[in-house]
Amino acid sequence: MDVKPQQLPAIEPRHVDPHAYPQGIAFLDGQYLPMSEAKISVLDWGFLHSDATYDTVHVWNGAFFRLDLHIERFFSGLERLRMSIPFDRAGVTEILHNCVALSGHRSAYVEMLCTRGASPNFSRDPRDATNRFMAFAVPFGSVANPEQLERGLHVSISQRVRIPPASIDPAIKNYHWLDLVCGLYDAYDNNAETALLLDFNGNVAEGPGFNVFAVKNGRLATPATGVLPGITRRSVFDLCAEAGLVAEAVIVSVDALLGADEVFITSTAGGIMPVTKIDGTDVANGKVGPVTTRLKDAYWAKHDDPDWSMPVTYP
Ligand code: PLP
């Protein structure tokens, strides 16, 4: 996919408090705005009921990574939630591109989202609301900080059950995050840095913004159900296929995770990130493992592959 808008839209210079919001550009109600001015009504169902879907893609070294897959997942979420927006895939691609180009960021966290919106008479019927599309580009952020990336994350297994797929289809990327946020606080109380939540049957599900993989005897396993089908998770499958490694989506028990040779998590916000401690105990020898390192290197190398990336044209 190659998008080169002829001309970038104008963005009005306005007074902005640079400390109040991350620097970046948003698209809202047909306008490109500084982040600090991208605001929505408190009557929007997205805010009142978490009635929204979204997707996040990153830009690395001035190029989008696997944007087509993120756009596809976003449109699938819109359809399943019966939302509609006045843009097609090419239109959304161009808006995201413009947000990044106008922001000037060469490494960015780029989000597209749609809320149910609000209705003029505060109707309780979601069909009366006007769906609202927004997008923004802010500096790239990662689940793991540089020190954690180097030595591996310390994770705690939460006693909270991840929202079951029978309640909310996790393939619709959503903001139902209270279980994940409470899990994070539980993790901090346990001197860990992030949390892993279990599913309704007590098997491993996912964490706040990431999927998880266990490596045992050179084979990779990741939870099959009850999780967002992450694009980074998909990239791991693609990289394993290229490298001749076996990767499967299966039931991952807590015992399988605790007994793994290596554990890593995956997210657009950070890529492939090692886990070296679970509930205070080392994973294997407590060091970042060779399969994780190999896949992580291959993942970042793919950012220069034209089949997996799309350059941004900056003004
Ligand atoms: N699981 C959840 C709940 C997420 O919110 C995310 C990303 O935000 C992921 C997994 C990882 O998905 P991706 O690799 O597409 O970023």
Give nearest CA residue, ligand 1 atom 12. 230
The CB of 174 under 6 Å from ligand 1? The reply is no
DSSP output for the chain: -----SSPPP-------TTTS-S-EEEETTEEEEGGG----TT-HHHHH--EEEEEEEEETTEEESHHHHHHHHHHHHHHTT---S--HHHHHHHHHHHHHHHT-SSEEEEEEEEEEE-TT--S-GGGSEEEEEEEEEE---SS-HHHHHH-EEEEEEEEEPPPTTTS-TTS-----HHHHHHHHHHHHTT-SEEEEE-TTSSB--BTTBEEEEEETTEEEEE-SSS---HHHHHHHHHHHHHT--EEEE---HHHHHT-SEEEEEETTTEEEEEEEETTEESTTSS--HHHHHHHHHHHHGGG-TTTEEE----
pLDDT tens by residue, 228-260 = 999 999 999 999 999 999 999 999 999 999 999
Question: How remote is the CA of residue 186 from the centroid of ligand 1, in Å?
Answer: 20
- The b-or-e profile of 19-43 (16+ CB within 10 A means b, else e) is eebeebbbbbeeebbbbbebeeeee
What one-letter code names the amino acid at 200?
F
Give the residue from 213, 241, 68 showing the smallest Cα distance to 155.
213
CA of 208 to the centre of ligand 1 (A): 8
- Per-residue tokens: 259: 């007994």
- Banded pLDDT at 45 (limits 50, 70, 90): very high
- pLDDT category of residue 16 using cuts at 50, 70 and 90: low
- State how far the Cα of 64 lies from the Cα of 313, in Å rounded to an integer: 11
1 confidence band (pLDDT: 50, 70, 90): very low
Residue 148 CB–ligand 1 contact under 6 Å = no
Would you place residue 161 in the very low, low, confident or very high pLDDT band (cuts 50, 70, 90)?
very high
- Å from CA of 267 to ligand 1 middle: 5
Q: Ligand 1 within 6 A of 230 CB? A: yes
pTM of the model: 0.94
- Distance between Cα 139 and ligand 1 center (Å): 18
Dihedral sign of CA atoms 188, 192, 195, 196 in order? negative
> Ligand 1 pocket: which of 173, 176, 184, 198 to mutate (most atoms <8 Å of CB)?
173
Determine whether the shortest distance from the Cβ of 194 to ligand 1 is under 6 A.
no
Instruction: Work out the percent of the chain whose per-residue pLDDT is above 90.
Output: 91
- Output phi, psi for 299, to 5 deg: -60, -50
The rounded distance, in Å, linking the Cα atoms of 92 and 280 is 44
Whole-number Cα distances in Å, 188 to 83, 157, 292: 37, 11, 25
Tell me if 167 sits within 8 A of 206, measured CB to CB: no
- ipTM for the complex shown: 0.99
Q: Count the residues in the chain.
A: 315
Choosing from 222, 268, 272 the residue with most ligand 1 atoms within 8 A of its CB, the one to mutate for a pocket test is 268
Q: How far is the CA of 144 from the centre of ligand 1 (A)?
A: 14
Q: Are 221 and 214 in contact (CB under 8 A)?
A: yes
The CB of 266 under 6 Å from ligand 1? The reply is: yes
Q: Residue 13 has what pLDDT?
A: 59
Measure 315 CA to ligand 1 centroid, in angstroms: 31
- pLDDT per position as a tens digit, 287-301: 999 999 999 999 999
Q: State the closest ligand 1 atom to the C-alpha of 180, by its place in the atom list counted from 1.
A: 3
What is the 79 CA–ligand 1 centroid distance (Å)? 19
